[in-house]
């Protein structure tokens, strides 16, 4: 994971209801537009965030998402950190597999978000919660 990942200086948005997902996605999209991300990259970023945010509401009840601009030399990117204090994931590598779902879903959220972003890291402890950190670069 790139050294610039983190929550310092980031905008923090509480995620508790569906409307909060819309808010996070709007914020990310306008930031991506400001940074001249291509249309496809904007959609990819927003859908990845939407997946992670839905997981928070579905599996942890509530959490928070941090958004900020980061740089790798001259290359701008958007860093997303999503954090909750829910039940956590007992087998992260299983949860990252396509089609795996404990919630009757398609099981595409986590593996899909990983594919759509350039950098993706998930840290989860049972009983403590889950943190997903990801970056999309505008290369």
Partner 1 sequence: MFMDDDFTDDAMSGVASTIQKLEDLLLVTVPRDLMDDQVLSLRREVVKHIRLYNSLWVLLDFSQVDICDSYFGRFIQSMANMVRLTGARVIISGLQDAVIETMVELGMTLPDVRAVLDLDEALAMSRTNGKVDADTSETELAELSFLDSSTFDFFEV
Q: Identify which of residues 28 and 57 has a Cβ nearer to ligand ATP in the complex.
A: 57
Cα–Cα distance between 87 and 111 in angstroms, integer? Answer: 19
**Contact criterion met (CB below 8 Å) for 50 and 21:** yes
**Residue given tokens 């509401």 in the structure block:** 57
Longest dimension (CA), the chain: 43
Region of 38-46, 78-86, 104-112, 113-121 interacting with Mg ion (CB under 5 A): 104-112
Q: Which does 87 bind (CB under 5 to 8 A by kind): ligand ATP, partner 1, Mg ion, none?
A: ligand ATP
**Contact criterion met (CB below 8 Å) for 107 and 97:** yes
Size of the site for partner 1 (CB under 8 A): 24
**Contact criterion met (CB below 8 Å) for 4 and 71:** yes
- Rule CB under 6 A: is residue 53 a binding residue for ligand ATP? no
Residues of this chain that bind partner 1 (CB under 8 A):
18-19, 22, 25, 39-40, 42-44, 46-47, 50-51, 54, 98, 105-106, 108-109, 111-113, 115-116
């Amino acid at each position: 994971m790139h050294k610039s990942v983190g929550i310092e200086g980031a905008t923090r948005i509480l995620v508790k209801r569906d409307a909060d997902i819309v808010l996070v996605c709007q914020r990310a999209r306008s930031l991506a537009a400001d940074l001249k991300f291509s249309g496809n990259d904007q959609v990819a970023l927003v859908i990845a965030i939407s997946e992670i945010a839905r997981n928070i509401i579905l599996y942890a009840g509530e959490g928070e998402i941090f958004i900020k601009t980061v740089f790798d030399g001259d290359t701008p990117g958007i860093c997303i950190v999503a954090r909750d204090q829910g039940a956590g994931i007992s087998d992260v590598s299983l949860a990252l597999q396509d089609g795996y779902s404990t919630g009757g879903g398609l099981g595409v959220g986590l593996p899909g978000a990983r594919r759509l972003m350039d950098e993706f890291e998930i840290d989860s402890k049972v009983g403590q919660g889950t943190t997903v950190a990801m970056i999309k670069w505008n290369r």
